[in-house]
C-alpha cells in the first residue's frame, strides 16, 4: 500500500494532499502570492493530521504544469527538496489532467476540456477522456489563442464538461459545452492520478524532473540572470 504526498502551486491555488492507508487527506487555499510561505506549513499540517511522517512516504507527486511559471517552479522546488531529503522518487502530473480529474470527481463526467488562463491573450488547453480507469489525451496540451480553441478541439459531444479558469476569462470559446464548477486544480485530484502512476512505476528521479511550461521562450526570458 503506497503513501504519496502531492503538492500543487501551479495556479493561484495552493494545495496539498496525502494518500495514506488508502485514504486521502487534503488542504486547499487561494494564495496568489504567498505560495512559498504557505506550502510547507500545509505539508506539516497534513502529515501531522494523518499521523504520517516524511520518512513513511513512498513518493512525492507534483504539478508539472502548465500554469504560472513562478507557481510551477515553486511547487517543483519544494517537492524536489522534500524528495531529496528522504531519497524518494517523484511523480509528475499535468495540471490540465488534474483539472479533468477534479471535474470527474464533482460531475462524474468522463469527457473534459480543461483550460487555464495563460495571460498574454492565450490559454493552456487540453482535451481528455477517461477510459480503462485512466485519462487519455485526445489532443496534446498546448498554449493557444481563444479564437482558435474551437477548431483545435476534436469530437465534441453533449457529454463534455469544461473546467479551469480559461473558461471564466474567455466564456465564448465553447459556449455550447457545459461548464463545471472546477476552476482551479487541487492536490486531492493530483494524488489520485499520481497513485495510478505509482502502480505502473511511472516515477522520475529528483534530478530528472522537468516542468511543462508550453511557452518556453517566455520562460527563458524570465530565468534568473536573463
- Mind listing the domains of the chain with CATH numbers? 4-94+185-200 (3.30.420.40), 95-179 (3.30.420.40)
pLDDT at 33: 80
Q: Is the dihedral of CA 126, 106, 164, 200 positive or negative?
A: negative
Instruction: Compute the distance between CA of residue 38 and CA of residue 196 in angstroms, rounded to an integer.
Output: 27
**Once rounded to an integer, what is the mean pLDDT over residues 82-100?**
98
- 182-218 pLDDT, tens digit per residue, is 999 999 999 999 999 999 999 999 999 999 999 864 4
Query: What value does the mean pLDDT of the chain take?
Result: 94
- 12-40 pLDDT, tens digit per residue, is 999 999 999 999 999 999 987 889 999 99
Long-range pairs for 41-48: beta carbons < 8 A, 24 or more residues apart: 42/14, 42/15, 42/16, 43/5, 43/7, 43/16, 43/78, 43/82, 46/5, 46/16, 46/17, 46/18, 47/5, 47/18
pLDDT at 219: 40
Q: Is the pLDDT of residue 224 over 80?
A: no
- Which of these, 106, 102, 74, lies nearest to 164 by C-alpha position? 102
Q: Is the pLDDT of residue 82 over 50?
A: yes
Amino acid at each position: 500500500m503506497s503513501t504519496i504526498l502531492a503538492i500543487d502551486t501551479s495556479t493561484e491555488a495552493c494545495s496539498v494532499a496525502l494518500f495514506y492507508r488508502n485514504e486521502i487527506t487534503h488542504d486547499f487555499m487561494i494564495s496568489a502570492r504567498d505560495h512559498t510561505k504557505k506550502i510547507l506549513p500545509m505539508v506539516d499540517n497534513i502529515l501531522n493530521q494523518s499521523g504520517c511522517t516524511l520518512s513513511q512516504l513512498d513518493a512525492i507527486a507534483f504539478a508539472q504544469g502548465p500554469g504560472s511559471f513562478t507557481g510551477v517552479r515553486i511547487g517543483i522546488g519544494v517537492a524536489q527538496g522534500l524528495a531529496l531529503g528522504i531519497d524518494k522518487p517523484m511523480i509528475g502530473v499535468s495540471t490540465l489532467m488534474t483539472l479533468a480529474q477534479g471535474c470527474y470527481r464533482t460531475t462524474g463526467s468522463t469527457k473534459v476540456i480543461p483550460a487555464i488562463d495563460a495571460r498574454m491573450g492565450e490559454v493552456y488547453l487540453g482535451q481528455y477522456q477517461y477510459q480503462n480507469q485512466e485519462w487519455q489525451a485526445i489532443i496534446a496540451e498546448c498554449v493557444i489563442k481563444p479564437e482558435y480553441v474551437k477548431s483545435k478541439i476534436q469530437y465534441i459531444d453533449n457529454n463534455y464538461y469544461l473546467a479551469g479558469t480559461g473558461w471564466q476569462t474567455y466564456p465564448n470559446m465553447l459556449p455550447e459545452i457545459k461548464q463545471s464548477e472546477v476552476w482551479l486544480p487541487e492536490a486531492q485530484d493530483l494524488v489520485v492520478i499520481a497513485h495510478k502512476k505509482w502502480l505502473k512505476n511511472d516515477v522520475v528521479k529528483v534530478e530528472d524532473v522537468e516542468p511543462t511550461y508550453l511557452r518556453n521562450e517566455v520562460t527563458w526570458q524570465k530565468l534568473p540572470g536573463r
